[in-house]
Amino acid sequence: MDHLELLDLAADEFRRRLHAVPADAWGASTPCEGWDVEALVTHVVGGNHMAVAMLGGADLDEVMATVAGFALGEDPMAGFEQSAAAQREAFRRPGALEATVHHPAGDIPAAQLLGFRIGDLGVHAWDLARATGGDEALDPRVVEAIWHALEPMRPVIGQVGVFGSGPSGELGDDAPLQQRLLDLVGRRP
């Protein structure tokens, strides 16, 4: 399975959890420190828009302007669907994956950005499920892709600042891969 297909699977994982958010759960806290459900969904939708801007050749100031003050709007599902479709199209444009994009972390290959988006959608699908009492089981293909992208960072991932404290050191290599991935990114299910 290629990474473009994995992007679709990860978007489906997030979409499925978003459809299941109860009307009274938008203020529920999530595993992401300081974020409620609305903030988490805003982050994911804003990230989709940011990826589209990067893939469209935006410079860093334009990329940052895309998410500065971004608001989810009245219909979060419609906002997600529009942004996910635009992101999908942007990654599928001829030559898109060979480009270099201006990311807040520095100039990176668009193929690396694709990996970031798969990880963001997949991990935050779990966060959304955890926050709302939904199905926490992620597609194993998405879990495996995210694991392979992030596991080499294990020694320093807790220092990056976006993955909590990183791995707990309490799970063995025989633990289910989804548990090891969640632990790696600072989640303690």
CATH of the domain at 53: 1.20.120.450
- pLDDT band of residue 183 (cuts 50, 70, 90) is very high
**Domain encompassing residue 100:** 3-140
pTM score, whole prediction: 0.95
Q: What is the sign of the dihedral through the CA atoms of 43, 109, 91 and 149?
A: negative
Tell me if 67 is assigned to some domain: yes
Average per-residue pLDDT in the chain?
Answer: 94
Q: How many domains does the chain have?
A: 1
List, in order, residues 6 or more apart from 53 with CB less than 8 Å away. 62, 63, 66
Q: What is the pLDDT of residue 32?
A: 93
- pLDDT band of residue 160 (cuts 50, 70, 90) is confident
Q: What is the pLDDT of residue 1?
A: 80
Q: What is the pLDDT of residue 165?
A: 82
Tell me if 173 is assigned to some domain: no
Tell me if 41 is assigned to some domain: yes
Tell me if 65 is assigned to some domain: yes
* 20 vs 66: CA distance, rounded Å: 27
- pLDDT band of residue 176 (cuts 50, 70, 90) is very high
Tell me if 174 is assigned to some domain: no
58-116 per-position pLDDT tens digit: 999 999 999 888 889 899 999 999 999 999 999 999 999 999 999 998 999 999 999 99
Tell me if 17 is assigned to some domain: yes
* 54 vs 128: CA distance, rounded Å: 26
How far CA 75 is from CA of 10, 18, 110, 175, in Å, comes to 21, 11, 29, 39
Tell me if 180 is assigned to some domain: no
